[in-house]
Structure 1
Amino acid sequence: MPTSLAHHYHQALRDQDILNQLRTHYPDGPTLHQLAPLDQLHIGGIAASKRLLGLLDQSAPMVLDIGAGLGGLMRQGAALGFHLTGLDITHRFNVLNQAISQLTMTQPLNNSPAGTLRCVTGDACALPFSDASFDAVLFQHSLMNMPDPARVLAECRRVLRPGGQLVMHEVVSGPHSEALRFPVPWAEGPAHSHLLSLSELTQTLEASGFKIQHCEDWSHTALEWRQRQRQKEQAPLTAVLSPQWVFGERFMQMGKNLLENLANGAINVVEISTRC
């Protein structure tokens, strides 16, 4: 029987070690960039999150982040004035996310006051929120873990207000999907990897009532970013924080496979903005 998705993510998580490391090295509170090696584990890092948040309407501040992980995107959004609710199926991620936020001195990135943060443990197939309660929904490397995307997107449509946004930065199947190598950060093997092709993803979005306004494939940029990260990961471990604090030693193979999957066209990376 395959392990649960939550177990995949928390089995090597060094919760208390991470908090002790943050308190020791950043007694005044870590900045968003200092946290990024830990909480911005998606392809593209903090720059990709900035792009994604830049697609949101600043005047519509209530945002749901589905698959929030350790909260890097949430804290970055709050610094822009958005009010973020993060949903994740991994409860230990949510607990650590909240603890990191309490240590972090989130400084506003514009003239708006910093937004609020809350975390909820739950399944995206049955969102624990009332109808029309959010202005926007975010996905960042999270839909790929969900075996029933149509049901998830129907739930997103339900909790969005009329005219609301659904914005995503996702990994999709590439032209050589048969070459996909495991493990990767989102899955040890096929059981938890549910990649759609870009055409399948856009068709599912449209069938769920979303109108696509922006769709960009930036796999080339993603590959260049991943190549730079791989060089850093192969250097002696002197960094205060790294993905290994989340994934353990297995991240070295995950990172290697991720680079090869991008280079071989097994996966692509896309950025999509829609409205309902």
Structure 2
Amino acid sequence: MAKTVIGPDEMGRRYDESASMTDLLNEGQVHLSYWYGEEDTTPLREASRRITRKVADALNLRAGDRVLDAGCGLGLPALDVAEATGAQVTGVTVSQAEVDAATARAAAAGMQERVRYQRADYMALPFADASFDAVLAMESLIHAPDLDRVLREFHRVLRPGGRVGLVDYTVESEASAREVEEFFAALGLTNLLTLPGWIEKFTAAGFAVEEYTQCGPRVFGMGPKYIEAARGVRESVVARFGDEAYQGLEGGLSGFFEISADRIGYAVAAFGKPRA
């Protein structure tokens, strides 16, 4: 299957360009949202925070833990984790626009002493061995040009007994090769794996699987809710970016969720670095 591999500089440029609109749509969150069903009327922004809570719970974070948010986006998940658990969080992203927006968000929340952000590539992390108690990887590994290299870096910067929390898309068994290849081509995704495939990658990197949940129908399967949320901010998007930009946003979301949730899933998982 052909894959389009996007390097960190190009990925950073893409996120630089999309950061402002993403922030307007989903308040500092770049990942998807979780609803309990069609009748669940929770706003997009709060439904996204449910994903952050799920992965933080899976990691069993505690006050004083040192957490790396690898692919921190616009910064809200790191702030939520720090506030809820008392952890110290360092977020990294290849987008300077995201670093700037996230840093401003932390300052506005009075959290700049506990949460900081910097531009860095997770394939070559600028941290010493055993610097962190946990790593968050929320919809970031799917973009990794070299997934094995990233996981080796996670293993290196984690202390023995530390954990990685994965939140990412999965390929379900019903997916046809053609549909998955089209999904790759449209989004430039590098690592679209089955849940067993993700587990295999982590175990090969020296991690032990501790927990996993497949929640695709409540996340990727709620496509109409994302489009509804976009329509709810239409006036703001048009006023700031123009009607063409809004049409691109809604059209992009419609195309993104066109493939059904029995073909593309969504997993939350935790993996541990052995103590010895």
Q: What secondary structure sits across from 1:55 in the alignment? A: helix
Aligned-partner Cα distance in 2 for 1:12–1:201:
27
- List structure 1 runs of 4+ shifted beyond 3 angstroms: 12-15, 180-183, 187-193, 223-226
Choose the corresponding residue for 2:227, options 226, 230, 233. Answer: 230
Using the TM superposition, give the Cα deviation of residue 194 of structure 1 relative to its aligned residue in structure 2, in angstroms.
2.7
Letter paired with 2:223: R
Choose the corresponding residue for 2:56, options 44, 53, 64. Answer: 53
Q: What secondary structure sits across from 2:31 in the alignment? A: coil
Q: What secondary structure sits across from 1:99 in the alignment? A: helix
Partner of 1:5: 11
Choose the corresponding residue for 1:267, options 260, 264, 268. Answer: 264
Aligned-partner Cα distance in 2 for 1:254–1:36:
13
Letter paired with 1:53: A
Q: What secondary structure sits across from 1:84 in the alignment? A: strand
Aligned-partner Cα distance in 2 for 1:8–1:189:
14
Q: What secondary structure sits across from 1:215 in the alignment? A: strand
1:77-96 superposed matches below 5 A: 77-80=81-84, 81-96=86-101
Using the TM superposition, give the Cα deviation of residue 189 of structure 1 relative to its aligned residue in structure 2, in angstroms.
3.6
Letter paired with 1:41: V
1:115–1:229 distance in 2 versus 1, CA, 3 Å: farther
Normalising by structure 2, report the TM-score.
Answer: 0.77
Aligned-partner Cα distance in 2 for 1:181–1:71:
31
Aligned-partner Cα distance in 1 for 2:266–2:77:
17
Partner of 1:251: 249
Using the TM superposition, give the Cα deviation of residue 264 of structure 1 relative to its aligned residue in structure 2, in angstroms.
5.3
Aligned-partner Cα distance in 1 for 2:233–2:55:
32
1:161–1:36 distance in 2 versus 1, CA, 3 Å: farther
Choose the corresponding residue for 1:211, options 199, 208, 211. Answer: 208
Moved more, 173-182 or 199-208: 173-182
Q: How many residues align?
A: 243
1:48–1:225 distance in 2 versus 1, CA, 3 Å: farther
Structure 2: stretches of 5+ with no match in the other structure? 34-47
Q: What secondary structure sits across from 1:119 in the alignment? A: strand
1:41-120 superposed matches below 5 A: 41-44=30-33, 45-59=48-62, 61-80=65-84, 81-104=86-109, 116-120=114-118
Aligned-partner Cα distance in 2 for 1:64–1:236:
31
1:188–1:239 distance in 2 versus 1, CA, 3 Å: farther
Residues 214-239 of structure 1 show CA distances to partners (whole Å, capped at 9, x for unaligned) of 11111111145433222232346256
Q: What secondary structure sits across from 1:54 in the alignment? A: helix
Choose the corresponding residue for 1:171, options 169, 172, 177. Answer: 169
Letter paired with 2:179: A
Aligned-partner Cα distance in 2 for 1:105–1:36:
23
1:51–1:264 distance in 2 versus 1, CA, 3 Å: closer
**RMSD, aligned α-carbons:** 3.0
Maintained 8 Å contact 2:216/2:261: no
